[in-house]
A = this chain, B = another copy of it.
């Protein structure tokens, strides 16, 4: 199953940033409120800008991006949690 987002939306998959504690235990910091990393899985259909020209995405599939923790809509694709956000809600691309 694949999802093609509508308009200027993109489909993302969160990248969990793990934390290794002193004793080697991997801690997933589910309480953090900082922006989170995500991978771009699919770009939307795009549509038009206000001036009538075609909208062009600033991100590409496979880009690692920074998103605000709260925002977008969680969707399950083949049992995997994904996230659909409007591109303008992506803060930046991580190189």
Contacts and interface: CB of A to CB of B under 8 A. Distances in A.
B7 A95 contact: no
A6 B93 contact: yes
Contact of A75 (B35, B84, B90): B35
Contacts of A1: 94-95
A3 B66 contact: yes
Contacts of A6: 58-59, 65, 87-88, 90-93
A14 B7 CA distance: 21
The 9 residue pairs across chains A and B that have the minimum distance between CB atoms: A51-B52, A3-B92, A45-B58, A5-B92, A4-B93, A2-B95, A84-B91, A6-B90, A35-B75
Given A34-B76, A68-B73, A95 B51 contact: no
